[in-house]
Structure 1
Amino acid sequence: MGALLAIDPIAFKIGSLSVHWYGLILGLGAIVGMLIAMREGKRFGLPQELFMDILLFGVPSAIICARIYYVAFQWDQYKNDPLKVFAIWEGGIAIYGALIGAVICAVIYTRIKGYSFWRIADLCAPGLLAGQLIGRWGNFVNQEAYGGETTEGFLRGTLHLPDFIVNQMNVEGIYRHPTFLYESCWNIVGIILIFIIRRRKFVRAGEIFIGYFIWYAIGRFFIEALRTDSLAFHGPSWLASLIHGMWTPMTWFGFQEGYLDPAYGNIRISQLLAIVFFVVAIVLIIVRRKNGQANIRYSDPIVSSKIQNAPAAIDEKHRVEGVSAESVPTHGRTHAPESADPASADKSDSSAPPGEDSARKE
Structure 2
Amino acid sequence: MLAQINPIAFKVFGLPIHWYALCIVSGIIVAVVLASNEAKKVGLSEDDIVDFIFWALPISIVGARAYYVAFEWSYYKNNLSEIFKIWNGGIAIYGGLIAGAIVLVFFTRSRFISTWKFLDVAAPSVIIAQAMGRWGNFANHEAYGPDTTRAFLQSLHLPKFIIDNMYIGGVYRQPTFFYESIWNVIGFIFIIVLRKKLSLKEGEIALTYVLWYSFGRFFIEGLRTDSLMVFDLIRVSQFLSIVLFVGALILLIIRRNDARIKLYQRKV
- Using the size of structure 2 for normalisation, the TM-score is 0.93
Give the SS at the match of 1:8: coil
Work out the percentage of aligned pairs sharing the same amino acid.
47
- Paired AA for residue 93 in structure 2: I
2:204 is matched with which residue? 207
The higher-RCO structure (CA 8 Å, 6+ apart) is 2
Cα deviation for residue 21 of structure 1 reads 1.0
Residue pair 1:201, 1:297 contacting (<8 A) in 2 also: no
Task: Provide the alpha-carbon RMSD of the alignment.
Answer: 1.9
Residue pair 2:89, 2:137 contacting (<8 A) in 1 also: no
2:84 to 76, 83, 86: 86
1:71-114, CA deviations, whole angstroms, 9 ceiling, x for partnerless residues? 11111112345454334344321010011111111111111111
What stretches of structure 1 of length at least 5 have no aligned partner? Answer: 235-264, 302-361
- Paired AA for residue 266 in structure 1: L
Alignment of 1:149 onto 2:123: no
Question: Does the C-alpha gap of structure 1 residues 291 and 195 become closer, same or farther in structure 2, counting only changes over 3 Å?
Answer: closer
Between the aligned partners of 1:91 and 1:167, the Cα distance in structure 2 is: 20
Cα deviation for residue 16 of structure 1 reads 2.6
1:232 is matched with which residue? 229
Equivalenced residues, count: 268
Alignment of 1:298 onto 2:258: no
Alignment of 1:53-92 (within 5 A): 53-82=51-80, 84-92=82-90
Structure ID, larger Rg: 1
Cα deviation for residue 170 of structure 1 reads 0.9
Between the aligned partners of 1:201 and 1:232, the Cα distance in structure 2 is: 39
- Paired AA for residue 38 in structure 1: S
Between the aligned partners of 1:167 and 1:26, the Cα distance in structure 2 is: 23
Alignment of 1:272 onto 2:245: no
- Paired AA for residue 224 in structure 2: R
Give the SS at the match of 2:148: coil
Alignment of 1:255-334 (within 5 A): 265-290=232-257, 292=259, 295-299=261-265
- Paired AA for residue 265 in structure 2: S
Residue pair 1:199, 1:299 contacting (<8 A) in 2 also: no
Cα deviation for residue 290 of structure 1 reads 4.8
Residue pair 2:7, 2:19 contacting (<8 A) in 1 also: yes
Between the aligned partners of 1:138 and 1:271, the Cα distance in structure 2 is: 21
2:192 is matched with which residue? 195
2:216 to 219, 233, 237: 219
Between the aligned partners of 1:8 and 1:90, the Cα distance in structure 2 is: 12
Give the SS at the match of 1:18: strand
1:170 is matched with which residue? 167
Cα deviation for residue 197 of structure 1 reads 1.4
